Chain A
Amino acid sequence: MLILSLAPTDARASELEEIKRARSIIAESALTIQLLLEARIPSVFAEGLLEDAGEQLGSATEGGRLAPEMIAELKSAQSAIAARDAASLNQIVERLHQLERQHE
């Protein structure tokens, strides 16, 4: 009963879940690019992680579960990953983090 009383009652819970997952993947991509540019990780490692990140973000945008604004953010993130632009990715992470706080 205690567990159930704490359970999320808001339908936005699943959207929050998607936002958190995407925010982390984008943040992981930003860190990967930063370390790659600083020559602290080899390109084969970075390429592998970024490819995985791009695929995960791509499948999130195709799910039809996200608001259009959120899909736009994810597409921007995909472009930034392709351009190896860590600064833009970090900006998206901050925006998503604020969005999360609004949902919580």
Chain B
Amino acid sequence: MSNLLEITLGIMTAMGGFVDMSELVFTAQAGARFLYALIWVIVLGTIIIIVFGEMSGRVAAISKQPVFNLMRQRLGLKFGLIVLVAASIVNLITCAAEIGGIGIVMQLGLGIPYRLATCLATIALIATVWFLPFKAIERIFGLLGLFMIAFIVAAAAIHPPWNEVVAGLLPNIPAHLSGNLLLTYAYFVVAIISAVVFPYETYFYSAGAIEEHWSKKDLMVNRLTTIVGFILGSLLAISILINAAVLFAPRHIDPQMVGTSAMEVAIPFGKVGLGFALLGMFFAISGAAIETCLCVAYGPCQFFGWKWGRYVRPSEAPRFTLLWIASFVLANLIVLTGVDPLNLVEWAVVSAILVIPFSYLPLLLVANDRKYMGEHVNGKIANFCGIGSFAIVVVAAIAALPLYFLTSGGQQ
């Protein structure tokens, strides 16, 4: 019974924690600009994050090795260090974007001035990580992020053209696109893949498996959490896209303000719906902010073998503690410079896709190493999915920067 409860909570946590600022921004813009044509990219990204999420959980449970430790082992000290620095910068920018998002939600929901809101949020997040154990942090924000289900309910209530939604599940290029718009479509393909498979999700999931002392007996929880939890989470992202296609596209809106996404629920359900949407956004984005900041600290600690984790008191892991507090403060300072959180999201998404292949490669190699994994080494299906997913993120990484510059971040 307790195992069933554990699996259910794990799935719900994965679902509630699936959406962050990048998905809010890019899926809403994708729906508004290309209607249902990009749904398949969310599906593809979800398959990739399931494959590598499951792999990172399995590797952590069996080999007890977190991702950044594997990077050092498999990429070598020098190149591993370069990837570590790049990943830390990406995580920091992502965290800044999330803190900016929290500030916007607090400003819109409570009327607190934006900069004051981000400062209050940063203090609250630091206190949360300081006082709460790992599992409580993961569960509280993941489960309260389920307020985002309001977006799914809204999608059902507005009666989208389901035949077009279903058609969008298959890879396609809309026939009317050419020139600039075709490039922008390609940019959105890359950006949505990056937003769904953000590297911090794998780092955090793997670190969580180690913090919770996963072993062979947790492999089923790992598999169900990643497969069912992420599929349900992707429904949130797909719903945001569908709502944007139905409600925003006819009004010539390509959301340029984060708060606009919340109106997807306000249109069918009024103030109550808006309240649910803002609460969901607040907890989902806050959870992502905590995860990214902790990942900034996980990186160097795991790479250099320093003590890390929330299972020890902050004073027992001083470098880790200092790093995550510093990353919260630094992320908030970035926000306080006045940079638009949407720009931060774009930079985070474009830079994240460059780091993803180097984060996934060590995982793929270790998951194939029988010396580490024993009988839990990758099978044929896991390898087919793993190599296929890896090839896709490599292609996306190569295309990311040219597409970003040629389309001005998808604005053309």
Give, as a whole number of angstroms, the nearest-CB distance from B240 to chain A: 15
Residue of A14, A23, A24, A40 near B266 (CB, 8 A) is A40
B29 to chain A: closest residue by CB: A24
- Chain A positions 34 through 72: 1 when the CB is less than 8 Å from some CB of chain B, otherwise 0: 010001111011011100110010000000000000000
B411 contact set on A, CB distance < 8 A: 17, 20-21
B contact face: mostly helix, strand, loop, or mixed: helix
Q: Which of B104, B263, B402 has the most CB of A within 10 A?
A: B263
Interface of chain B residues 6 through 63 with chain A (CB within 8 A): 32
Find out whether the CB atom of A8 lies under 8 angstroms from the CB atom of B180.
yes
Contacting A56 at CB < 8 Å: which of B256, B259, B278, B402? Answer: B256
Is B109's CB under 8 angstroms from A28's CB?
no
B255 & A14 in contact (Cβ 8 Å cutoff): no
Q: Check B322 for interface membership: any CB of A closer than 8 A.
A: no
- Size band of the B side of the interface? 35 or more
| B81 to A: closest C-beta gap in Å | 31
- Complex: how many Å from CA A104 to CA B412? 9
Expressed in whole angstroms, the Cα–Cα distance for A14 and B180 within the complex equals 12
Does any Cβ of A come within 8 Å of B267's Cβ?
yes
Q: Is B148 an interface residue (CB 8 A)?
A: no
Residues of A within 8 Å of B260, CB to CB, are 28, 31-32, 49
Q: A58 vs B181: C-alpha distance in the bound complex, in angstroms?
A: 27
- How far is B271's CA from A45's CA once the two chains are assembled, in angstroms? 10
What residues on B are CB-neighbors of A6 within 8 Å?
A: 179-180, 182-183, 406
State whether A53 touches B399 (Cβ < 8 A). Answer: no
Q: Select one of A23, A28, A48 contacting B111, CB under 8 A.
A: A48
Please indicate the chain B residues that have their CB under 8 angstroms from the CB of A97 in the complex. Answer: 252
Taking CB as reference atom, which chain B residue is nearest A9? B179
Complex CA distance for A3 and B405, rounded to whole angstroms? 11
Select from chain B the residue with minimum beta-carbon distance to A26: B252
The answer to whether A25 and B109 touch across the interface, beta carbons within 8 angstroms, is no
Q: B257 to A53, Cβ gap below 8 A?
A: yes
Residue from the list A8, A31, A35, A56 in contact with B406, Cβ < 8 A: A8
Q: Does A80 contact B (CB under 8 A)?
A: no
Q: Which residues of B contact A17 (CB under 8 A)?
A: 408, 411-412
Q: Does B274 lie at the interface of the complex (its beta carbon under 8 Å from any beta carbon of A)?
A: yes
CB distance from A97 to the nearest CB of B (A): 5
State the Cβ distance, A55 to closest chain B Cβ, in Å. Answer: 10
Q: Is the CB of B406 within 8 A of A3?
A: yes
A30 and B251 contacting across the interface, CB-CB below 8 Å: yes
Would you list which residues of chain B between 107 and 150 have a CB under 8 Å from chain A? 107-111
Nearest-neighbor residue (CB-CB) of A38 within chain B: B270
- Whether B253 is near chain A, meaning CB under 8 Å from some CB there, is yes
A93 in the interface, Cβ–Cβ < 8 Å? yes
B179 close to A8 (CB less than 8 A): yes
Q: Are B270 and A44 in contact (CB under 8 A)?
A: no
Distance in angstroms between the alpha carbons of A25 and B252 in the assembled complex: 10
Show the binding face of B for A, using Cβ within 8 Å.
32, 104, 107-111, 179-183, 186, 251-257, 259-260, 262-263, 266-267, 270-271, 274, 278, 399, 402-403, 406, 408, 411-412
Q: Return the 6 tightest CB-CB contacts between A and B, nearest first.
A: A44-B111, A48-B108, A40-B270, A17-B411, A27-B253, A24-B254
The 14 listed contacts between A and B (C-beta, < 8 Å) are A14-B408, A28-B255, A31-B251, A39-B271, A40-B267, A40-B274, A41-B266, A42-B271, A44-B111, A45-B109, A45-B262, A48-B108, A93-B251, A93-B252
